[in-house]
Structure 1
Amino acid sequence: MTNTNNLAPAGGIVESELKTTGHVHAVGNELGGMMAFSDLFTALAYFFIPVVLTLFIIKHRELKFKRILVMFILFILACGLQHFLHFTSHWYPTPQLLNATMAFMAAISVITAVMILPILRQVSAFIQERGELEERLAAHNVELESALSLANDRKLAFEQSERAFRAIISGAPIGTAVVTLDGRFSLVNKALCDMFGYVARELEKLTFQEITHPDDLDTDLFQVRMLLDGVANNYRMEKRYIRRDGAEVQAQLDVSLVRDEQGNPDFFVSQIQDITASKQTQSALKESRHRFLSLLKHLPTAVVVHRSDSSIEYVNPAAEDMLGLTEDQLLGKSAVDPDWHFLTEDGDQMPLDDYPIMKVLSSKRPLSNYTTGVVQRKDAQVRWMLVNAFPIKTAAGALDQVIVSFIDITEHKKLQQALKEQAQTDPLTGLFNRRYFQETAAREVAQARRANSPLSIIELDLDHFKRINDRYGHAAGDKVLVAQSDIIRQLLRENDIPCRVGGEEFVIIMPGTDAHEAAFAAERLRAKVMSADIQLENQQILRWTTSLGVASLEDGDICIEDVIQRADRALYQAKADGRNCVSVAATG
């Protein structure tokens, strides 16, 4: 029998008084067999662990702290060997080998214990370093996630921008295309396809060089080179394209160069507008303008075209001749210019607002048969013009031009003035006649009433004029009348109005003159006449005198006839007083 009290802990068997009998211990066949196989399987498990760890170390050569793993592998091998020896000792006891294995395990344990202290410090440092690395890695992961999120946002923004760009291109009302650097259409819209007669897939296989009119290609390529060389960022030109059906398309081309983030040329964006109809309209307008200007050039009527700012844009030869100025002297000048001014029909200085061009510009309505005098500074001569003018408006209704036509009526004006003077002037004396006196007297009375100013009339009659005619003849009488008129003109003021109203009867209208001033003027006239004489053809000297009546406008006078009646009575009184005197009508 074996003494079981001497069994070593942890399955170790100390050499003792155990005794073997054949192939099993004396503890019993069933229990001994179970213990033997337990040691076997434990040994196998211990042997398997070092194999796995060794393979792991071989695979992970960069692994830290391999020495402690090696010691652990040796320890596990020793444990496995112990269990294997224990297994075999059931049949073949080897106490010396078992003790050696125990000693090896002890040595390995001591070495491991000695090695583990510094390794623990390294492991602690490694764990701390790993923690820091994990923190940095976590921070880097956050940064990476942020960068990925930003990249994703940028990708979404780019995709959205790409969709918007394509939508803008496709929805543009004018022909629009993205063109590669070698000239190929990479993206075209419907408007461009309709313009050139292609579908999109056909047009995107072509280059702009292939559909450009040969005569315009060099100019276009030169502009492209300017963009690529950085001389310009965009360009505009008019050029011709060839449609799919061979027809020409007049177009306005606008091209911009798009560069990448590094500033290198990437692609072109082209906008193409069909201006064929516009060009045809311009050509028609040009032809129409040419015919119009040709008509104006040969028109005998003077024509001046003003811009909306009144400056002169065009003059025809008739206008140059009529105004006595050349085209260079007229073009660009305004109607309001120091080199000339305008007169009213009465000969007065015309206000600027009444200038023909100014009236049309302000009213925007035509002006018909407007008479004005034009006085040039260089010669001060008056040229009378009959003016017609009408405005030219844009389609929007804005004033664009004013066309002024005029004819020279200077000779007609002179004739008209001569006829007027004949109708108003006494042919013998050159003084105003009775008709003019009647028209003017009423007007002057009305003016005096409005201005609340005085007005006087002098009536005078040559004394014994019939005797002069009877004794010396009517020719001598006419000389007396002319001399009398000359004296009247010499002594009167500029605004006084002398008239011959009968054979030897004269009336003088004196605006702004009261009775006292008129009486003084009458007396001067009487004295001047009395001292005057004329020499007849027979060398005879002829003298004469005159009687004068003076009357002034009073508050109670209804019309000029009231003043004339008082002047008549005063004249009769002067004759009754012996002639050659002045009589002033009583007031009130």
Structure 2
Amino acid sequence: MNSTESILKQQKARSWLALRKKIQLYIGFAALWVTVSYLISVYVLHFSDIVTFFSCLNITLFMILSSLVLYSGLNEVFARHNKQIDKLKQSEETLLSVLNGSQLGFWDWHLTRNEVKRNATWAEMLGFHFKEINETTQQWSDFVHPQDREAACASIEAALKGITSEHQLMYRMKTKSGAYKWILDRARVVERDEYGNAVRMSGTHTDVDALKKTEQALQASEQRFRGIFENAAVGIAQVNSEGSFQLVNTTFCHITGYSHDELMYNIKYFQAITHPDDLGQDIHLFKQLMNGTLKQYELEKRYLCKDGSIAWVNLSVAALLDEQGSISSISSVQDITQQKSLQTELEYRAHIDFLTEIANRRYFIELAERELARTRRYQQSLALIMLDLDFFKRVNDEYGHKAGDKVLQMFSSILRNTFRAVDVIGRLGGEEFAVLLPQTDLDGAVELAQRLQENINCTDMRVERAVCLRITVSMGIAVLTEQDTTIEQLLNKADKRLYQAKTLGRNRIVALV
């Protein structure tokens, strides 16, 4: 490669420069040697034959010394030079292997000759054949997206001037099809002249188009989320490793009901305003954040507000590390009290019959199955009463559905007042109801049914100002046996006895088949 040849030339030049310095040193030393020897011969010894001898000896020593010095210098220089050549060849082979295996586009820019060379991968990355790129008259800037061109030029210029150690930037480049592709461009100045000016710069292109587009999709999604999040009432609080408030914003104060000074100087710690039922989990996660086990965590928790109310919040916490190495946390606090109330209300409505405010059929079955499992586990008794309002259709036909709804509501109220808190009351549909009686045998169930019958008989149901109705109820009772494995089986048994009660004339209780 051209870059390797240039490096070898530079190394060779430096080696010969070192040799020249050694030779210069040697010549100076030899001249000094001859001069001193001559002065000693003339002014000290005064003998011509001795001078002759000394001169011969001097020449001999000079030749021996010069031979040794030259040999040593040349041997050292060329040995070092050969080692450097071997290392450079190995580096070149390694670089070629890496470039070929990593699908990197390589480019080499010689500034003084304004010459740019690229490899085949560089061309293929943009959809060109290698020959097309070699023969093109287009400049690098022609490929760069107009919106990215200024930033790319500035980054390269900074590296050329030595302001930065390298040029590294993601930008878009135009492909052969006319579309743009995201490229990661990384380069360094590999050669400078004696004045420090850049002579050559080499770099690589990495195809990051798929990665960048995925990143952009994620960023767009995050921006949408952030837009919604930032337009909501979001509190911010920073606390140190002990949980002491370092910073709170106005929205956080509004959420908790405390002023800035009260939180910072009176309350001081987030633990003091966290609901006791949520404190354990919050502290556990906070400790993991502080010791580095977690980088961030999210938590739904409750704050104890100044006015005694409870504020539900969605807490998003991340660790912060300052320049001194001290760790703290920054929390994003979103008030979700209304959402929680709505969620509770929706869950309630999913379980409770809207008209009568008692459990609907699905929720009744769910609660009954739990009670059945508990009864089996502790080997206790369990009874079930099915109820049906007698001739309820006549109420709707004669007085309208509004009057019928009032009758159902008043009947449900009687049920709640008659039965125990542990009993499970449900509306199965229309005018049909059921009551599950835990820890109750047949006699106990009959007694409760009779009490209900008495309460109904003595209750006037006023559906309009001038209309007061009396209703009756038919009831069927079933008791859990070893053969009953599901609530549906128990309901079927009670339903058969309810049907028998209606057949026998209504307004009665049937507990035995």
TM band (smaller chain): 0.3 to 0.5
Structure exhibiting the larger radius of gyration computed from Cα positions: 1
Q: Structure 2-normalised TM-score?
A: 0.48
TM-score, length-scaled by structure 1: 0.42
Higher relative contact order (CA 8 A, sep 6+): 2
